[in-house]
Chains A and B, each alone.
Chain A
Amino acid sequence: MLEVMNTLILKAVLAPLVLFPVAAAVLVFGLLLKGVDRIVVARLQRRVGPPLLQPFFDILKLMSKQSMVPIGAPRTLFLALPMIGACSMCLAIALVPIVGVYEPNGQFGDLIVLLYLLTVPAIVLMLAGSASGSTFGAIGFSREMSLMLAYEGPLLLVLISVAMKTGLAQGDLITFSLMDIVHYQQDNGSFLFDPWMWPAVLAYLSIIPANLGIPPFDIPEAESEVLEGPLCEYSGPALALFKIMSTMKTMVVLALGIVMFIPGNATGMMALIGFVFKCLILFLLTKSLLRASVGRMRIDQAFLFYFKWPELLGIVGLLLVVFKG
């Protein structure tokens, strides 16, 4: 019986991935990156570290366990939330172009849809925390909300800076099409090499840790203080879906950063290698090095930090774009 259930759950998860191979490929790549991250952090701390495939083992183990629903929690909502989260991230990755390899149809959505989809995981986590009926989940809920309020502002400013930079150069005020942004940079050089865009680049880099829950900003899911907060009551396949969601979100945020600042001109195999290389560098810079070297902030410190520096960088970046054109 258990075996039958397991294969059913596996099929339910794998079917969408088979239907949309880009998401499956990105998920596999994301999990490999996570494995690399764990090894790199271990080596930085002078130990051996887990095997490269460890994230796959973790996900498969969770798939083979049972999902428990706590007494008092709304069963449907509790089990639907991880699915909504994972699906939203699969949708989001479908909107982000991988230059030279994958070009999304512009009719599906643009930067604005992507911005909305990027907030879904945070909202899913908040709802999951409050739906689980646990005190720790509630604390996680409030922390997730404060952190989201802090980083959404700078994120919006960065996206608008990039969109306005492209739009002003093309004669409109602003363009939200990701392919337009890519084509403009292919013709006129990447934004990463334009000193006037550096405040926006820095702001985006500093948003990534809070957006992805990386120390020192993993405050909502702090396992030693609030028992992993919103994920406290989740187990089995539901928890695995949350892990898949966070892996996909990592990939969406990394790919979005590459599209906005350094898409490159290559096509075919070279483009794929370039994408993997850029992802690796960005990921090691914003996750592994940070994770190995710092502790965890308090929520008020993180909130103040985001209201001071990334917000300031974002505003400066936007003003530079507006006045320099």
Chain B
Amino acid sequence: MSFLSKVSVRSPWLYRINAGSCNGCDVELATTALIPRYDVERLGCQYCGTPKHADIVLITGPLTARIKDKVLQVYQEIPDPKVTIAVGICPISGGVFRDSYAIEGPIDKYIDVDVNIPGCPPRPQAILEGIAMAIEIWKQRL
């Protein structure tokens, strides 16, 4: 492992994709788990505004039929090596929306998911642990 990749592991930038989520998991991501209260910034993480800057992708929501193409398009714009995290029960199995006519999920039909964080919404501690696991996976891919 070269010096550069050793250092790179300490600066994972996060990108959020909302695939038709009810906003519960997004609130957990934006306001409690990541930045203000439990502070994932101590792992070097930082939210980035555009998919081009991202290293770790957090996907919430059951992948509704209307948003599927857009989610896949944005996902493709994220450069490799990337690590994908499914946050909440919806992207994993569909959750309460399972078997609905309006959803195309679960998301691993289209995207290789590396870490699942189940919950409705997941606890902030679980999200932090999931991101720490994602960083370990990212380390192997560099």
A47 touches B37 (CB 8 A): yes
Contacts of A48 in B (CB 8 A): 39, 41-42
Given A54-B11, A234-B52, A235-B53, do A49 and B39 touch, yes or no (CB 8 Å)?
yes
12 residue pairs bridging A and B, Cβ less than 8 Å apart: A42-B39, A47-B39, A47-B42, A51-B44, A57-B8, A57-B11, A60-B11, A65-B79, A223-B48, A227-B49, A232-B52, A235-B52
Who on chain A is nearest to B45 by CB?
A50
Given contacts A49-B39, A61-B7, A61-B11, contact A68 B52 (CB under 8 A): yes
The distance from the CB of B52 to the nearest CB of chain A, in whole angstroms, is 5
Bound state CA distance, A42 and B44, in angstroms?
Answer: 12
Chain B interface mostly helix, strand, loop or mixed? loop
Measured CA separation A38–B44 after assembly (Å): 11
| A57-B44 contact in complex given A68-B52, A235-B79, C-beta closer than 8 Å | yes
Complex: chain A residue closest to B53, CB-CB: A235
Do residues A50 and B48 form an inter-chain contact, with CB atoms below 8 A? Answer: no
Cα distance A45–B10 when bound, in Å? 22
Instruction: Tell me if A311 is interfacial: C-beta within 8 Å of chain B.
Output: no
Q: Tell whether A144 is near chain B: CB-to-CB under 8 Å.
A: no
Cross-chain contact of A38 among B10, B41, B53 (Cβ < 8 A): B41
Which interface class (under 10, 10 to 19, 20 to 34, 35 or more) fits B?
20 to 34
| With A47-B37, A239-B53: A68-B42 Cβ-Cβ less than 8 Å | no
CB pair B50 A228 closer than 8 Å: yes
Q: Taking the complex as formed, is B96 at the interface, i.e. its CB lies under 8 A from any CB of chain A?
A: no
* From A49, A226, A228, A233, contact of B48 by CB (8 A): A228
Is B52 a contact partner of A223 (Cβ separation < 8 A)? no
Instruction: Give bound CA distance, A223 to B14, whole Å.
Output: 13
- Report, nearest first, the 9 A-B pairs whose CB atoms are least far apart: A223-B49, A47-B39, A64-B4, A61-B8, A57-B11, A61-B11, A227-B50, A228-B49, A227-B49
Contact B8 A60 (CB under 8 A): yes
Please determine whether A49 and B4 come into contact, CB atoms closer than 8 angstroms. no
| A119 contacts the other chain (CB 8 A) | no
- Identify which of residues 202-233 in chain A touch chain B, using a CB-to-CB cut-off of 8 Å: 222-224, 226-228, 231-233
Which residues of the partner chain A approach B100 to less than 8 Å between Cβ atoms?
none
Closest CB of chain A to B47's CB: distance in Å?
Answer: 7
Q: Which of B1-52 contact A (CB under 8 A)?
A: 2, 4-5, 7-8, 10-11, 35-39, 41-42, 44, 46-50, 52
Chain A nearest CB from B142 CB (Å) reads 8
Q: Is A194 an interface residue (CB 8 A)?
A: no
Q: Are A64 and B44 in contact (CB under 8 A)?
A: no
Which of A38, A61, A64, A65 has most B Cβ within 10 Å?
A61
Q: Is the CB–CB distance between A60 and B39 below 8 Å?
A: no
Residues of A94-121 contacting chain B, CB below 8 A:
none
Q: Which residues of B contact A47 (CB under 8 A)?
A: 35-39, 41-42
Most buried by B among A38, A54, A239: A54
